[in-house]
Amino acid sequence: MALDSRIEKILWNEDQISRRVSELAAEITDEFRSSSTPPVFVGVAIGAFLFFADLVRKIDLPISLDFVRAQSYGSGTCSNEAPVISSDLKVNVQGRPVLLVEDIVDTGHTISSIIALLKAKGASSVSVCTFLDKPARRKVEIQPVGQGKLYRGFECPDYFIVGYGLDFAELYRNLPYIGVLKPEHYS
Ligand code: 5GP
Ligand code: MG
């Protein structure tokens, strides 16, 4: 796909994303291969929708899947300490291992709230797979539950990035790569 004229630079292109998703899928398959109960993969909408769709297609095991919805930004670039999580999971996670699939972890508030929610709903373990990890602004560490593991796609420099599911003011989610906008588009 041609570079969108609003993008200043690409951090990860389609090929790099696809290769990393395959590697993560292989590691995750190893974790759940011997699970006696099929795991529940929970995607964090909307941002993780493309990553989630790409990842689950590479998992050749019986799994259930569902979404929670988290809203941490209005139309700015600063996340919220108290993200709004809508918890209407249709799949019962009680007694089942869960893999939580997120687009990016920044301060850690959003992922921690969702981990707490899944724990409260009785998940037997919670593993976390975040496509991007932006450790520069971390406030709360990511803590998997029980035997759960932590997977990261790439470490992200401290830029506000868009594409591959991630938006700025509800635009750019459909870009197949991850990039940084030209400064004039952030205003
Ligand atoms: P946290 O609660 O960890 O601060 O923020 C996590 C959420 O903020 C992510 O799920 C994501 O939706 C959003 N977020 C964090 N950093 C970025 C970024 O660089 N770009 C975009 N578009 N969203 C981000
Ligand atoms: Mg998100």
The predicted pLDDT at position 87 comes to: 72
Q: What is the pLDDT of residue 71?
A: 79
Catalytic annotation present for 106: yes
3-state secondary structure string across the chain: CCCCCCEEEEEECHHHHHHHHHHHHHHHHHHHCCCCCCCEEEEEECCCHHHHHHHHCCCCCCCEEEEEEEECCCCCCCCCCCCEEECCCCCCCCCCEEEEEEEEECCCHHHHHHHHHHHHCCCCEEEEEEEEECHHHCCCCCCCECCCCEEEEEECCCCCEEECCECECCECCCCCCEEEECHHHHC
Instruction: Supply the residue whose CA is at minimum distance from atom 4 of ligand 1.
Output: 107
pLDDT along the chain (187 residues), means of 10: 87 98 98 97 97 98 96 65 81 98 96 96 98 96 97 96 96 97 88
CATH 3.40.50.2020 is right for the domain spanning 7-181? yes
Domain ranges (residues) in the chain: 7-181
pLDDT for residue 1: 65
How much distance in Å is there from the Cα of 17 to the middle of ligand 1?
A: 18
94 C-alpha to center of ligand 2: Å?
24
Ligand 1 proximity of 108 Cβ (cutoff 6 Å): yes
* Best probe residue, ligand 1, of 67, 78, 79 (max atoms within 8 Å of C-beta): 79
Mutate to test the pocket of ligand 1, among 67, 86, 104 (most ligand atoms within 8 A of CB): 104
The number of the ligand 1 atom at minimal distance from the alpha carbon of 104 is 9
